[in-house]
Chain A
Amino acid sequence: MTKSRFSILLLLLLAFNLTVSARFFYWQVVAGEELAVAAQQQRFQFAEVTASRGEIFSSDSYPLVLNKPAFLIYVYLPHLKGTIDSLTDKIVPVLDHEKNSSPAADLKKEIKERLSGKSKWVILRRRINEKTKKEIENLEINGLGFEREDIRDYPEASMAAHLLGFVGRDQSGKPKGYFGLEGFYNQQLSGSPGLLIEEKNVFGKPIISANRVKETMRPGLNLQLYLDRTAQFILADKLKEGLEKYGAKSGWGVIIDSQTGGVLAMASFPNYDPELYFSFDQKLFPNPIAAESFEPGSIFKPFVMATALEQGVVKPETKCTKCSGPVKIGDDKIETWNGQYRPNCTMREIIQYSDNVGMVFVAQELGKSKLLAGIKKFGFGQKTEIDLQEENSLAIRPSNQWYPIDLATLSFGQGIAVTPIQMVQAFNVLANKGRLISPKIVKRIWSNRNSHYYQPEQKNRRVLSQKTTSQMKEMLVNAVENGEAKWAKPKKLIVAGKTGTAQIPIRGHYDKEKTIASFIGFAPADDPKFVMLISLREPSTSPWGSETAAPLWFTIAERLAYYWNLL
């Protein structure tokens, strides 16, 4: 063995080891960071953990809106064995059981249309329930698949559709609340999805010891409402009955708790089924109570009168000096609703007889700026900030656009558009010792995880003095007690209220037959529990509020009085 060759061999081996080490240095240190990132990318998988949507409960914690499992069924065409025809023939009879299904023939046509598109992955149907899913699974059709997507469940059916709103899907297919509470509180109800970063092995199975959650899922928050289920049932039931009885096209009713401003009941017809929202006309979605402006008519008079009392321009006993006949303003002539005139009648009587001429007198005594400032203080021209997504409010024209005739009609509630909820908010000022509280549907928002409560904020400000309030209240009680008794008032229940009949402007003119008939009031007058507004659009039995909305109001009030033990 030659020594030099031995040394050469050792040197060669050393050189090789150094080369290998240098190569290791390159892979591990020089290119290391980049490669480590690539290695991470092949094992980390990002998964979104969907947050369950918050649920909605009545004031007595009874569920109004829950979640229930549902599925979308899709077909992946390359895996489909038979023909499209045989698929539809098999599947349609099963889908036909579904609550929202169209007739079998239409369904077949619809599904075939969907399948004839270009896409290989086609959604056949959404929102199918677990039972239908099982039945379809039992058909054992290759190429069909299901994806879970929870939908809303309404244990109380659609008794408060307009209040609740509905959950549809946004453009990216994620659930989203539209209208009502679902729309207003969409963010809170949605919660936020969690982001799960999982490390996976080469087969895609998670490396269990290495799970890391980056963002925890926050489930949607729950809503507890002021809503009283019994009151809601009474209101919805009677309103529906009243609509038929008086032949009205539509109607609404709101009941709020006088002290808290909380909405105890809210209903309007025609309405829709939030579970099957997609099969209804979109025009039905907005809640008219917050979204629809109407000319209130005589139910507006108390605010003008209260402003005049507050400003000290009149007292309840003040006599009207211009009430002996129709009042002329420019070319227009204003008359009372029945053509009867009461010279020197008092303010109390003006309210009692709903005297338009008397109201014009009050408005003129007040003057433009005080009158406009007064009605703005009652919250007209501004949103009430009720928790309904679709709330809308028309602004009050600037003061230089008010002409004498406008001020005159304003005094009896024509020529101004308000929303029903603004009416109720303003009327509650009279019930609530002169303070304005914004109405709210949600009492508190809470999470399942921790008992963290959040209470929605409410406006709370003084509008009238206590003295004015009690004077006005007395006038309204008098109007109910001594007005024409066209309704059956529960004897022991003292109500402060006002009827109203507003003509509906059609193409710039008022149609005498087409009216919105309303009654607004609160009870018991000495310690108000609730404020309620009932309006009927175009009642056909009689155009007058006193003959339609008022009797309906008292029917409901009587039931509520028994229920709340107010008698």
Chain B
Amino acid sequence: MARKVYRTIDWSILIPALILIGFGLMMIADISLVEATVNFGDKFYFLKHQLTWALVGGILGLIFSFIDYHFWEKFARPIFFLALVALILVFVPGIGISAYGAKRWLNLIIINFQPVELAKLALIFYFSSLISKENKRPLWQQLVVLCLPLALILFEPDFSSAVLVAVVVAILWFLSGESLIQILFLGLLGLTASWLLISSSPYRKQRMLGLFNPFSDPQGKSYHAYQLALTLGSGGWLGTGMGNSRQKYQYLPEATTDSIVALAAEEFGFLGIAVFIAFFSFFVFRCFLIAKRAADPFGQFLAAGITGLIVIQGLINLGATAIILPLTGMPFPFVSYGGSSLITLMAAMGILLNISRYQQVP
């Protein structure tokens, strides 16, 4: 296998990623104006935070882009164990922070850190190394490895992250040539388990019900979905124009995070959102090309896992925005407001860029 070292990184993924971040900052500035003024008395409260995180993520990504990606193969196991420990520590009083009825954060004195973000990357590193080995372990053994962190994430509870992680690992299995029947069986098993989980929690059940008919209870259970429909409808073909969203006046919940694409659809219309989806698809396609052209199997799976992490987040969010998937609280990659997600994704982009330096050109 000819190894060709590129001096430069792949600009065709870096620039779209930066455009997505820039677009996100613009939308956050526009949308959060109202909420920031009302809640914090500072018009640019959200923008300032997101900018800070983008800076931190940028530095981290830059560092990672210079670390040979085989580093992650070598340390995949210890990182995986570190992530498991962090996921357990969430439940330790004094270290773990409980908020909004969930235990998702660790108090690291300087910053509050979400172990699940570390776990996402750790799982990708670990599974990429597992499946790229010549004599890889059978699927059921891998499943056991997956189940431990998955259970911890579900226990926080953080359902959407669990789904994300599971789907990303499933993609890696799929690409590694595992038996389709086994994967489909596991998928069905996962769906059944999800359905049981959903029906066990009234909170998730409400969100599910809202999905199937946004008009069933506009003032109650289906409020969010109904407001999403109104937001999209207000956009029409061409949108209301930049800054002219009306649904951002606190009608639409989670305006800067989960619902940011819906507000973009209101301001830029269907044509705008079609361009946005096409642009995102192009970006994802370029990312997968890196996976396809990576120098070795580990690089391929690592790139595919990172791409999967980005694309599955994006699709779950788009699906929820278009009201065909349940509202699980998934931010749109690079665009939505939120430090943990942005920093993790930018760090992952750094790794992806490093892989891109060793691309094989067919």
Contacts and interface: CB of A to CB of B under 8 A. Distances in A.
B233 A20 contact: no
B285 A10 contact: yes
Interface stretch (B49-57, B88-96, B246-254): B246-254
Q: Size class of A's contact patch? A: 35 or more
A203 interface: yes
B211 to A, nearest CB: 12
6 contacts: A1-B176, A20-B315, A24-B232, A25-B274, A32-B232, A202-B251
B247 A39 contact: yes
A2 B297 CA distance: 11
Contacts of A200: 249
A41 B95 CA distance: 48
B351 interface: no
Q: Classify the secondary structure of B's interface with A.
A: helix
Contacts of A28: 232-233, 235-237, 265, 269-270, 273
A27 B323 contact: yes
Contact of A201 (B34, B175, B285, B322): B34
A32 B249 contact: no
A13 B233 contact: no
A33 B229 CA distance: 11
Contact of A29 (B234, B237, B324): B237
B277 A1 contact: no
A185 B177 CA distance: 91
- Of the candidates A10, A21, A31, A200, the one having the most CB atoms from chain B within 10 angstroms of its own CB is A21
Given A6-B292, A19-B324, A201-B251, A24 B265 contact: yes
A240 interface: no
A35 interface: yes
A33 to B, nearest CB: 7
Contacts of B235: 28, 32
A20 B314 CA distance: 11
B322 A20 contact: yes
A120 interface: no
Interface string A22-59: 01110111011111101100110000000000000000
B324 A23 contact: yes
- Of the candidates B231, B232, B297, B300, the one having the most CB atoms from chain A within 10 angstroms of its own CB is B232
A5 B251 contact: no
A68 to B, nearest CB: 38
A20 B230 contact: no
A34 B291 CA distance: 44
A36 B284 CA distance: 32
Given A6-B288, A20-B315, A201 B270 contact: no
A276 interface: no
Interface in A218-244: none
Contacts of B300: 1
A39 B230 contact: yes
B265 A38 contact: no
Given A24-B322, A32-B232, A16 B174 contact: no
A406 B176 CA distance: 123
Interface string B275-302: 0010011001100100110000100110
A395 interface: no
- Of the candidates B171, B176, B230, the one having the most CB atoms from chain A within 10 angstroms of its own CB is B230
A213 interface: no
Contacts of B324: 19-20, 23
A20 B319 contact: yes
B86 interface: no
B347 interface: no
A201 B37 CA distance: 13
Contacts of B232: 24, 27-28, 32, 35
Interface residues of B, number: 44
Contacts of A102: none
A17 B250 contact: no
Q: Classify the secondary structure of A's interface with B.
A: helix
A199 B270 contact: no
Contacts of B247: 39
A24 B270 contact: yes
A220 to B, nearest CB: 35
Interface of A: 1-3, 5-6, 9-10, 13-14, 16-17, 19-21, 23-25, 27-29, 31-36, 38-39, 42-43, 199-203, 207, 210
Contact of B301 (A1, A16, A17, A210): A1
Give the 7 A-B CB pairs with smallest separation, nearest first: A35-B233, A201-B249, A23-B322, A27-B232, A39-B230, A28-B270, A202-B250
- Of the candidates A5, A6, A20, the one having the most CB atoms from chain B within 10 angstroms of its own CB is A20
Interface string B17-59: 0000000000000000010000000000000000000000000
A17 B322 CA distance: 11
A39 B265 CA distance: 14
B183 to A, nearest CB: 10
A465 B152 CA distance: 114
Given A28-B237, A29-B236, 10 more contacts: A13-B315, A17-B277, A24-B232, A27-B322, A28-B236, A35-B229, A199-B246, A201-B251, A202-B250, A203-B250
Contacts of B176: 1
Interface in B168-185: 171, 174-177
A24 B237 CA distance: 10
B270 A1 contact: no
A310 B285 CA distance: 110
B311 interface: yes
Nearest to A3: B292
B236 A39 contact: no
Nearest to A44: B246
A25 B270 contact: yes
A29 B250 contact: no
Contacts of A19: 324
A16 B314 CA distance: 11
B246 A207 contact: yes
B281 A24 contact: no
A207 B249 contact: yes
Nearest to B174: A5
A42 B251 contact: yes
Nearest to B178: A5
Nearest to A43: B246
A29 B250 CA distance: 23
Nearest to B318: A20
Nearest to A35: B233
Contacts of B274: 21, 24-25
B304 interface: yes
